[in-house]
Structure 1
Amino acid sequence: MANRGYVVDFSIVALCILVMVVSRAEPDPTKMTTALLIRVDQSGKGDYPTIQEAIDAVPSNNSELVYIWVNAGIYTEKVVVPADKPFITLSGTNANETIIAWKESGEIYVSPVFTVLASDFVGRYLTIQNTYGSGAKAVALRVSGDRAAFYGCRILSHQDTLLDDIGRHYYRSCYIEGDTDFIFGNAASLFEKCHLHSLSDGAGAITAQGRVSPVDTGGFIFLDCKITGVKTAILGRPWGAYSRVVFAFTYMSGVVVPQGWDDWGDSSKQSTSYFGQYECYGAGAITSKRVGWSHDLTFQEAAPFLTKDFIGGMTWIRPSPRSFKKFSNTTN
């Protein structure tokens, strides 16, 4: 009888532990189909008049999809999505009409118009613009959360437009504009069907990737993209010693200079950086005059960079919600 008592007690303890583990497991974003809806409208017809107020209303440690729909307008505000507020989607209906704008220069972690610190964030059909102009660091968008995706967005500035900082990120059908190092950081990111436009009137740099070691998973992959510009630009230069950037199936206009890449005045980075292209086309895609330390990739070499597997996207890139329910802010 005593032995049976111990068995029963152990089973109960094990069951309690299992329940606790399951209850604390993170939700699977690919299977989340219903979202809480918050409306932002400057005219007062929505739930909140500013984007930041809508984000602030989301509970800390949120575990539900929250869909913040932003009506057309120019929202002159700095926006931060805190680290404790995952699973937010922020969406306009047309990027040309839903604009988040701010004018500020300074350090790269201070000047951003829009900062994402949370995981599982989605941005859709928005213009995010730092209106400071040229001549100083003026970040439009900083993405420092894991598993973030942007669709149909316009990201605009001059120097340091997009701080693609850390985490795994996916950009699709976005327009990104700047002049100097305007896509930079050390995230592991896939840019698919994006348009990169250089405003530089000299040899500006499109990318400055910051990978710092050979085991670092960071890198920028551009798949089926388009490059245009005002004058000339290089594809990238190594912000980190092990900088990694690959362009595949990308149209490169004559704005891309024949050398393609630059070592940023440090020849030691030529042997550690990984800069390559695969099956690109256009006047700027000719590889015969590329720097000798860049890579004209074979299919086998390019294959690891040609799918969402590079960012583990199949496990976290989520579909749009299929249904919505009313958001209720219980803190008010």
Structure 2
Amino acid sequence: MNSSTTPKNYLNILKYSALTTALLLASNQQALATCTYTVTNNWGGGFTGEIKVTNDTAATVNNWSVSWQEANASVTNAWNATLSGSNPYTATALSWNATLAPGASATFGFQANGTAGAPKVSGSLCGTTTSSAAATSTATTSKSSASAAITSSSSKSSVAVSSSKSSSSVASSAPAESSWVFEESAVGFCNNSGVIDTKHTGHTGTGFIDSENAIGASITWSVTAASAKTYAAQIRFGNGGAGARRATVVVNDVQIKTLDFPTNSVWTQWQTASVDIPLTAGTNSIKLVAETADGLANIDNLKVTGNGITPAACPTTTPTTTDCNSVTNQPILQVAADGSATYKTVASALNTISSSNTTPTQIRIKPGTYREKLLVTKPFVTFCGQTGKEASTILTYNDGASTLNSSGTAIGTSGSASVTIKANDISMENITIENSFGVGSQAVALLAQGQRLQFRNCRLLGNQDTLYTHSGTQYYRNCHIQGTVDFIFGAATAVFENNVIHSVGGGSALTAPSTEQTVPYGLVFLGGKVTAVSSVAKGSVALGRNWRPYGAATYIRTELGQHISAVGWVKMSENTLDTARFSEYLTTGAGANPSARAPQSKQLTAAQAATYTISNIFGSWTPSYSK
């Protein structure tokens, strides 16, 4: 912020900023602190936020507190601070974070119902305003030209994307408009065809996007606009290559303009491309798509100017893969529990397929309840329920680990599975797999053992040990997986993309990986939500515990419910967390608490998180359900 800004103009900035603003700090005037307010996740009807208090003076601050007021939201809970008041709210330090030495900071989070907006600040401001690492807002009086324009800048700034000082000036008599700078580490940044890199200096945020060198390489952002109109946008980029790189700007699946990103032969001298973009009221998708074989220029950030612009949660991507019911070039076996098809049980249809089968074959299952203990040993089979009928197409059994076999001995955890897969190249879609044993024993719904197993729009229901990812490579998309204790466990390399992981009762942990030391990836959660029934206590469930010493589990951009414990990760039995491989990246929600996590776990950098791709994890196998 310009040091010559007057208090009146400062309040004008606050009026038009959307998510980051200075807050009141109750402390003496000799030891003021810097405070930032950041919305970390926004899903429309509610949001989570984070307030960071930093002591940037030479004196120690004791027993800090901050106060703020939400215009259109009510705060429901907070963590890492004591919350009091009812709009305005006050958060006071806990015993362990009350003292801030010079240069030290404390961060607490909160969850609110309603619409995220600019908090109303009461009282004096705390020290100097700083920018948050998440998507931030700045005040500006300048508008971009209606035509595309290129400017350059060699200086690093967290909010400005050109060398003009007008972007931070508030001296104009014209009403100020807020601007959002969308960084690669912030809410609103959805995906890219490349990696987040830091090798060229002068970038803002945590890095810049180095795209694939290919036509079609792209970056997508999600933006909320308060009203339908045209907004000025600026793309900060670097191009030190041999020639210009061309890209198309696509807004809500409509091509708006083709831009040239010229070279200046210096990768560290950043430039700015300006373009006007028409947005609708509500959530919008902005996509930049490469038109040259060299891919995109290095993209540092996107800035959108206009009041009412805020980042939006990235929408769920609808798979473009054809639903199994529309496949016509494979043998199809029809199953119906009511006897209206060729086969009445799934097992009877499966038994007609050779154990050495190499022909992709479909078993289409009509809605119904199929109480049969199913063992799948035939490869290249797709189990296909009707589209949208997964809740009424149920494969179920009720064995528990303590169930006795014919010889009078317990069948054990593996023996309890309702459905056991011991084959390669198996697909399941639109189906529920259930173990109805209940509580009191391990009771597996699905045991998956094989290479290239994939599941989409499935429901896996149980209590303890619902899903046994025994071994091999597995992919789960848009599934609902529920249980109580360790209900996703095993040694497989398994990716869970956009799933709901749901606790139906109290339990020590969601996952229990037993990954071998030589296997680089274990259980990987990309996006999705971690939820619980209301009876599960707040902060009572860990993200995972290591069933074997080198168990690996990672959550990337996953929304975590308040039932997730602050420590996040715990050990199992005699194992130690020192050998476990547990990590997170940009998790959100009430259960996201990076600063309180077990010290042996990792918060991935943007560059590290960028390596968690389908191709890196699975190598030559690309699941058709991931496309």
Q: TM-score range by the shorter chain?
A: 0.7 to 0.9
Which residue matches 1:180? 485
CA distance in 1, matches of 2:336, 2:556: 40
Q: Provide the TM-score with structure 2 as the length reference.
A: 0.44
C-alpha separation in 2, matches of 1:319 and 1:246: 21
The structural deviation recorded for 1:319 is: 6.4
Q: 2:624 is aligned with what amino acid?
A: R
Counterpart position of 2:463:
158
Distance in 2 separating the partners of 1:121 and 1:208: 24
SS at 2:450 equivalent: coil
Secondary structure, in 3 states, of the residue corresponding to 1:52?
helix
Q: Return the TM-score normalized by structure 1.
A: 0.82
Q: Kindly indicate whether residue 350 of structure 2 is the aligned counterpart of residue 60 of structure 1.
A: no
Describe the SS at the equivalent of 1:54: helix
**Shift in Å, 1:34:** 2.4
Q: Is the 8 A contact 2:500 2:530 kept in 1?
A: yes
Is residue 244 of structure 1 aligned with residue 536 of structure 2? no
Structure 2 contact 521–553 (Cα < 8 Å) conserved: no
Indicate yes or no: 2:351 matched with 1:43. no
Q: Secondary structure at the match of 1:270?
A: coil
What residue in structure 1 maps to residue 522 of structure 2? 219
Question: Do structure 1's residue 318 and structure 2's residue 624 form an aligned pair?
Answer: yes
Larger radius of gyration: 2
Q: Secondary structure at the match of 1:145?
A: strand
8 Å contact kept, 1:162–1:183: yes
Match among 450, 453, 459 for residue 148 of structure 1: 453
Q: SS at 2:391's partner residue?
A: coil
Superposition map of 1:106-145 within 5 A:
106=401, 107-145=412-450
Output the CA distance in 2 between the equivalents of 1:283 and 1:63.
48
The Cα shift of 1:95 comes to 0.9
Partner residue, 2:155: none
In 2 relative to 1, CA 272–178 (structure 1 residues): closer, same or farther, beyond 3 Å?
A: same
How many Å apart are 1:42 and its aligned residue? Answer: 1.8
Deviations 1:262-285 (A, max 9, x none): 01244x622211101001100101
- Decide whether aligned partners of structure 1 residues 319 and 227 sit closer, same or farther in structure 2, where only a CA change above 3 A counts: closer
Alpha carbons 2:615, 2:622 under 8 Å: kept? no
In 2 relative to 1, CA 33–64 (structure 1 residues): closer, same or farther, beyond 3 Å? farther
Q: State the shift of 1:240 in Å.
A: 1.1
Kindly indicate whether residue 411 of structure 2 is the aligned counterpart of residue 103 of structure 1: no
- SS at 1:166's partner residue? strand
- Retained in 1: the 8 A contact 2:454–2:625? no
* Structure 1 SS opposite 2:576: helix
Q: After superposition, what is the alpha-carbon deviation per residue over 1:58-90, rounded to whole angstroms, capped at 9, x for unaligned? A: 1221111101100000111111111xx211000
Please tell me whether residue 208 in structure 1 is matched to residue 508 in structure 2: no
- Equivalent position amino acid for 1:205 in 2: A
Q: Distance in 2 between matches of 1:33 and 1:53?
A: 22
User: Larger RCO: Structure 1 or Structure 2 (Cα < 8 Å, ≥ 6 residues apart)?
Assistant: 1
2:35 aligns with none
Deviations 1:82-123 (A, max 9, x none): 1xx211000111111100111110112100000111100000
Q: Offset of 1:308 from its aligned partner?
A: 4.4
For 1:15, the equivalent position in structure 2 comes to none
- Relative to structure 1, is the Cα distance of residues 311 and 33 closer, same or farther in structure 2, using a 3 angstrom cutoff? farther
Cα contact 2:477–2:625 (8 A) shared by 1: no
Q: Matches of 1:121 and 1:42 in 2, distance apart?
A: 22
The answer to whether the 8 Å contact 1:200/1:233 transfers is no
CA distance in 2, matches of 1:36, 1:110: 31
Cα deviations by residue, 1:25-68 (Å, 9 ceiling, x for unpaired): xxxxxxx9821100001222212100011111112211111011
Measure the CA separation in 2 of the matches of 1:121 and 1:33. Answer: 18
Q: Which residue number corresponds to residue 383 of structure 2? A: 90
Instruction: Quote the Cα distance in structure 2 between the aligned partners of 1:184 and 1:315.
Output: 22
CA spacing shift, 1:269–1:33, aligned 2, 3 Å = farther
Decide which of 222, 233, 236 is 2:541's aligned counterpart: 233
Residue 189 of structure 1, aligned match among 494, 502, 512: 494
What is the Cα deviation at residue 233 of structure 1?
1.1
Do the aligned residues in 1 keep the contact of 2:489 with 2:514 (CA within 8 Å)?
yes
What is the one-letter code of the residue matched to 1:243?
G
**Secondary structure in 2 aligned to 1:300?**
helix
Number of residue pairs matched by the alignment: 283
Please, what is the CA RMSD of the aligned residues? 1.7
Which of 255, 259, 262 does residue 563 from structure 2 map onto? 255
- How far apart, CA to CA, are the structure 2 residues paired with 1:200 and 1:41? 33
| Other-structure match for 2:220 | none
**Aligned CA distance change for structure 1 residues 306 and 254 (closer, same or farther; 3 Å):** farther
* Correspondence 1:296 to 2:603: yes
By how many angstroms is 1:302 displaced?
1.7
In the alignment, which residue of structure 1 is the partner of 2:309? none
**Aligned residue type for 2:363:** I
1:89 alignment partner AA? T
The percent of aligned pairs where both chains have the same amino acid is 33
- How far apart, in 2, do the equivalents of 1:319 and 1:159 lie? 27
Per residue, is there more helix in 1 or in 2?
1
Sort the Cα spacing of 1:315 and 1:155 in 2 relative to 1 into closer, same or farther, 3 A: same
Q: Distance in 1 between matches of 2:508 and 2:384?
A: 31
More strand per residue: 1 or 2? 2
Is the CA contact (8 Å cut-off) linking 1:155 and 1:162 kept in structure 2?
yes
Distance 1:182 1:47 in 2: 35
Between the aligned partners of 1:229 and 1:191, the Cα distance in structure 2 is 18
Quick one: distance in 1 between partners of 2:468 and 2:496?
14
The alignment partner of 1:146 has SS state of strand
Q: CA deviation at 1:212?
A: 3.0
Q: Counterparts of 2:603 and 2:328 in 1: how far apart (Å)?
A: 42
* 1:70 corresponding residue in structure 2: 365
Equivalent position amino acid for 1:249 in 2: R
Cα distance, 1:225 vs. partner?
A: 1.4
- Letter in structure 2 aligned against 1:147: R
SS class of match (1:34): coil
The separation in 2 between residues aligned to 1:306 and 1:278, in whole angstroms, is: 14
**1:280-291 → structure 2 map (5 Å cutoff):** 280-291=587-598
